[in-house]
Structure 1
Amino acid sequence: MKKIYVVVMVVLLLTTMVAPSFAANKLGSKAHGMGGAFTAVADDASAVYWNPAGLTQSGLLGFNLDLGGQVNSDDVQAIQDFIDSIDAIQNATTDQEKIEAVKSLEFPEDVKLNINGLVAANFKKVGVGLIANSELTTESSEVNNVKTQTAQNMMIGEGIISLGTNIIDPPLNIGSIALGMNAKYISGRYDAVEYSYNETNLTFNEPVEISDDATGYGLDVGALIKVTDMVNIGATVRNATSKLDWDESSDLPDELERTVTLGAAAKLPFPIAATVAVDIEMPEDQEDIYHFGLEKRIIAGLLALRLGAYEQSGEDTVYTGGLGLNVPFVDLNLAVDSDKYVSLSGTFRF
């Protein structure tokens, strides 16, 4: 049975490693503080997301709870004003009144809010997890005197059953190779609204409103190689295969974006005594994304300082930082970045 499992894992890795992906979410405060360079680290229950092969090094029993999101009071207030002002459009009776209502609409232009949550647990090399992501975006455009304002929100939830196994397990784990797999139940929700009007000839198009639900499945695979006692190499293919069935719309994506990530991590010896890591993501139809991270433990290991950054060609570099309080069996973590994203997590590991 184990041989069949290993063959399936290797085939999935080889056949999908060259496929592109979409950038990963900012799940896990420890990983976020290290700039998302965590594929070759993955040493707690959050490995069910970052690299299921990491469950082989996540301890006998573990639990992780994480919540994160962008903190931008201006955007939040703009969205609230937008919701409050929609009533004026719905109450208008003529096209002229509707156009005037849309023109005065408190529309939050070019907003992007992202909220993530992760609950994960592992017992030895078996893990379970719940992941939730909600992403709200707004956009304004004008073509041939037609002005359009659009707001949309996509929510994706994943229930995960995860398994990691060592296929090569030499003494001291030097040269060990581990593989991991996630089987996922996926639930989706999509809501959108679009207003458009032509101010020149005073015509107002009927609002377009979409609300749709989906269910589906997905599969992740990962590998973790311990080159030496201080150097790890990791690889994951998130959503190696996936399927979403929407109740109504055929225009929405019928699968989740595939994400391929390669990573390396090294524990530098004294006097530096820190962990450094780098990940490379290869998004579909986009430039590669580079993640860099560092973790330094001080005060007898009770406090962890983390720094990181990630960058995609054509986009501003996002810098991250984090703190971790490490007491026996429990870690409390905080991470922030220059994109106004904040995450908090608590981790239990035995």
Structure 2
Amino acid sequence: MMNTLKPSLLFTALLMLFWTDPAFSQSVNAGTSGAQFLKINAGARAEAMGGAFAGSANDATAVFWNPAGLAQIERGSVSFTNIPWWADVEINQFAAALNAGNLGVFGLSVVSLSVPEQEITTVDQPAGTGRFFDAGDLMVGLSYARKLLPQFSVGISAKYVNQRIWNQRASAVAFDIGTQYNFGYRNLTLGMTVSNFGPDMQYSGSDLAFFIPDRNDPSEAPGRRPLASLETLGFPLPLHFQVGAAIDAFDSRYLLWRLAADLKNPSDNYEMISFGTEFEFRLEFASVFGRGGYTFNNPDQKWSVGTGLMIDLSGYNIFVDYSWSEHEYLPGIQRLSVALSF
């Protein structure tokens, strides 16, 4: 009886720990870090659950949430997510993982953000100069995870981060590290992760160089080698700590109900508490999912909902997931994910 109660009491204690007054975060460093695209939630499934995914990550998208979750993959998993962002910005997220047996599980992640071309304007030419600029962000990461014990796994990711605005670029190498522990009771899993640990980034490029004409020779060609250049200030990566727990509240032949709760501590925002839930309705050769999530103390995003479908094709599972997240000041954001598990 005691063995049955202990995990349940632990999960309750974790919920009580997370349920603290929002006033516990009295200061916020909003706007102090760069590479904000790294903070955009990956995968429609995780987003629909409010981002409460540190303990639930068990597919290819674990490379974004908690690399230790890759150790739960038995063979292989591939996932692709498309996010139409505001102002015609397009975000694509790709993840793949392969179990190499005794060697562990290896993962690959790619995130791209593209900003459409816009015409350059100046004070003298407010209607446009006829020249255009664009911008984009890119992250490419490699991950590794393995089970140190049957119930305990650890994972790490190394990723190259690059941001570009026209001819200016900033880049850095960052790291994620995470752990998961399964208590063996109703799949109760505790997950912890630290993301985006790395050096500051700083923009540099040809557009920061400028020509200082010689006052004694105003006819001097401005195309000559520049005599000076501007220097930008460095900015830190969005360091993020997340700890969460997930449990199968109900599990039967036809229905699985999973609950999750996460505490998030970003370096450039308030601490937040996210709760998520997932219903899986099991059919003979398929499953239908319903998901929902809510985040407390987030000044921008609260609710998220989603649905999904899994089709079993002789050992190959195809997933199609959709999510919609509400935002306080801007229209809601949709995500569509397609995944293959084999």
Does the aligned pair in 1 maintain the 2:197–2:237 contact within 8 Å?
no
State how far apart, in whole Å, the 2-side matches of 1:155 and 1:331 are. Answer: 29
Aligned residue among 318, 324, 341 for 1:336: 324
Corresponding position of 2:188: 231
Q: TM-score, normalised by structure 2?
A: 0.66
2:111 pairs with one of 94, 115, 131: 131
1:52-71 equivalence runs, <5 A:
52-70=67-85
* 1:13-59 per-position Cα deviation (integer Å, ceiling 9, x unaligned): xxxxxxx9989312100001111111111111111111110110023
State how 1:193-342 maps to structure 2 within 5 Å.
212-229=168-185, 230-248=187-205, 250-270=231-251, 273-300=256-283, 302-312=287-297, 315=299, 318-328=302-312, 329-339=317-327, 340-342=332-334
Structure 2 CA distance for partners of 1:154 and 1:219, relative to 1, 3 Å: farther
1:186–1:215 contact (8 Å) kept in structure 2: yes
Amino acid at match of 1:234: G
How many angstroms does 1:155 deviate by?
3.9
Pairwise CA RMSD = 2.7
Tell me how far 1:121 sits from its aligned partner. 0.7
Cα distance between partner residues in 2 of 1:212 and 1:164 = 35
Contact in 1 for aligned 2:238/2:268 (Cα 8 Å): no
302 and 222 in structure 1: CA distance in 2 versus 1, 3 angstrom threshold: same
Q: Give the whole-Å Cα distance in 1 for the aligned partners of 2:170 and 2:76.
A: 33
C-alpha distance in 2, partners of 1:258/1:57? 25
Query: Which residue is equivalent to 1:172?
Result: none
Unpaired segments of 5 or more residues in structure 2? 1-28, 100-104, 117-132, 206-229
Residues of 1 paired with 2:233 and 2:91: CA distance?
A: 21
Cα deviation for residue 327 of structure 1 reads 0.6
Alignment of 1:113-152 (within 5 A): 115-124=90-99, 125-133=105-113
How far 1:284 sits from its partner (Å)?
2.0
Residue 346 of structure 1 is matched in structure 2 by 338
2:13 corresponds to 1:32: no
Which deviates the most, 127-136 or 211-220? 127-136
Shift of 1:245: 4.5
1:183 aligns with 2:158: yes
User: Taking structure 1 as reference, are residues 311 and 254 closer, same or farther at Cα in structure 2, changes over 3 Å only?
Assistant: same
Residues 232-276 of structure 1: per-residue CA shift (max 9 Å, x gap): 011111112244343246435443110111111111124773111
Taking CA–CA contacts closer than 8 Å with sequence separation of 6 or more, which of the two structures ends up with the larger relative contact order?
Answer: 1
Corresponding residue SS for 1:42? coil
Identity %: 23
SS at match of 1:130: strand
